Amino acid sequence: MLCMAVILLTGNAFAQKRHLYLFLCFGQSNMEGNARFEPQDTTVDSRMRVLQAVDCPDLGRQKGSWYTAVPPLCRCKTGLTPADYFGRTLIARLPKKIKIGIINVSVAGSRIEIFDKDNFQAYLSGAPGWMKNIAAEYNGNPYATLVELAKKAQKVGVIKGILLHQGESNPNDSLWTKKVKGIYDNLMKDLNLKPKSVPLLAGELVNADQGGACANMNKIIATLPAVIPNAYVISSSGCSCAGDHLHFMAEGYRKLGKRYGTKMLALLGYGDMAVE
Residue 1: inside a domain, yes or no? no
The enclosing H or E element of 15 equals helix 2-18
For residue 150, is pLDDT > 60? yes
- Determine the structural domain holding residue 119 and report its residue range: 18-267
Compute how many other C-beta atoms are within 10 angstroms of the C-beta atom of residue 269.
6
Q: For residue 2, what pLDDT is reported?
A: 55
- pTM strictly above 0.95: no
pLDDT in tens, 177-223: 999 999 999 999 999 999 999 999 999 999 999 999 999 999 999 99
Residue 26: inside a domain, yes or no? yes
For residue 137, is pLDDT > 70? yes
Reduced to 3 states, what is the DSSP secondary structure of residue 184?
Answer: helix
Residue 188: inside a domain, yes or no? yes
Amino acid type, 135:
A
- Which residues are catalytic, by number? 29, 244, 247
Say if residues 15 and 146 touch (Cβ distance below 8 Å).
no
Residue 273: inside a domain, yes or no? no
Q: For residue 5, what pLDDT is reported?
A: 43
Residue 7: inside a domain, yes or no? no
The enclosing H or E element of 163 equals strand 158-165
Residue 76: inside a domain, yes or no? yes
d(CA 192, CA 238): 37
Question: Domain count of the chain?
Answer: 1
Q: Which of 26, 235, 7, 215 is nearest to 110 (CA)?
A: 26
- CATH code, domain with 258: 3.40.50.1110
Residue 274: inside a domain, yes or no? no
